[in-house]
């Protein structure tokens, strides 16, 4: 049931992308924003309560959904629907394609603007090389966050794992970044997201190493460069992508007043426009392999 649902949900995402209207994740975001307005305090304890309430509530709904549907077909379908709702691989691929198309048309201002759909950094002054790098880094990180990690949690915990993971990941995007407002309040959401992404990010890096054009280079970059990244999960993924594609990632990122100097990852040249298509193909292979592995794990657990 679980294995079939995961594969059906992955296929739905590949064919249909995200729902255009009434997306459950957007609905969760509205609930989270409303609760933040009433609950916010500048301390960690309130942030723990906030994250625990929302993620715990999502998990409880997932458990209730599975228990309310005893028939195998119904459980398969609800697993497929949940998988489709939490995955974002096809939308990620389409955003990357759009940036690449705008660069090919020599429309750098439009490419900068479109890039804001993928990254939180200031894109207004980026040249083409920096737009390509930012797009590639986002594609790598979000292949883990929006494809592989939810499949991992779906394999081991079914619908509760799928929706609980996506709830935590959404909260991290909303309140997990460092700012005066969220430094303490968002601490719990950020740490929970880091914890839940550990297995998915390592699997993504391993698949990038195995499925890229330079497995030795990917392994070398992962082992040597990942620790230089401020994120414990984005580091292995971005480093493995850089090595697998034979390019260099990392550098200075401007987040609108907050500048971060990221470690350089990989030994190759800076990425160019053509590398976006190569990275998209690698991300697609990783997603398909992760779906098959998740189904295999779910099936083995059932047997």
Compute mean pLDDT per 10 residues along the chain, 303 residues long, and list them: 95 89 89 96 96 97 91 93 96 96 97 95 93 97 97 97 97 90 95 97 98 96 94 96 96 82 92 96 98 95 67
Could you give the count of Cα atoms lying within 13 Å of 11 in the half-sphere of its Cβ?
Answer: 11
pTM for the predicted model, two decimal places: 0.94
What is the SS3 assignment for 253? strand
**Cα–Cα nearest to 241, from 273, 262, 268:** 268
Quick one: how many helices (H) and strands (E) in the chain? 12, 2
Angle among Cα 30, 32, 33 to the nearest 5 degrees reads 65
pLDDT at 50: 97
């Amino acid at each position: 049931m679980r294995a079939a649902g995961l594969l059906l949900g992955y296929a739905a995402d590949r064919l249909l992308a995200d729902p255009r209207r009434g997306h459950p994740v957007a609905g969760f975001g509205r609930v989270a924003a409303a609760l933040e307005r009433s609950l916010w305090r500048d301390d960690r304890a309130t942030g723990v309560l906030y994250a625990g309430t929302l993620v715990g509530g999502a998990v409880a709904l997932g458990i209730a959904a599975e228990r309310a549907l005893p028939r195998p077909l119904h459980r398969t379908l609800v697993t497929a629907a949940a998988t489709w709702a939490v995955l974002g691989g096809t939308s990620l691929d389409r955003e990357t394609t759009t940036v690449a198309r705008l660069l090919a048309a020599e429309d750098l201002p439009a490419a900068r603007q479109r890039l804001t759909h993928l990254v939180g950094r200031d894109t207004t002054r980026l040249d083409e090389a920096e737009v390509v790098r930012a797009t590639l880094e986002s594609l790598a990180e979000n292949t883990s966050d929006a494809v592989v990690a939810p499949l991992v949690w779906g394999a081991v915990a079914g619908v509760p794992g799928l929706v609980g993971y996506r709830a935590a990941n959404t909260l991290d995007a909303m309140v997990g970044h460092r700012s005066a407002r969220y430094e303490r309040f968002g601490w719990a959401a950020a740490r929970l997201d880091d914890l839940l992404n550990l297995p998915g990010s390592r699997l993504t890096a391993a698949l990038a190493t195995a499925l890229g054009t330079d497995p030795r280079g990917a392994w070398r970059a992962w082992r040597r460069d990942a620790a230089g990244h401020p994120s414990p999960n984005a580091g292995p993924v971005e480093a493995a992508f850089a090595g697998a594609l034979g390019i260099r990632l990392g550098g200075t990122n401007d987040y609108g007043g907050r500048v971060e100097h990221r470690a350089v990852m990989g030994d190759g040249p800076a990425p160019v426009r053509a590398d976006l298509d190569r990275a998209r193909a690698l991300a697609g292979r990783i997603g398909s392999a992760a779906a098959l592995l998740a189904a295999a794990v779910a099936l083995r657990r059932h047997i």
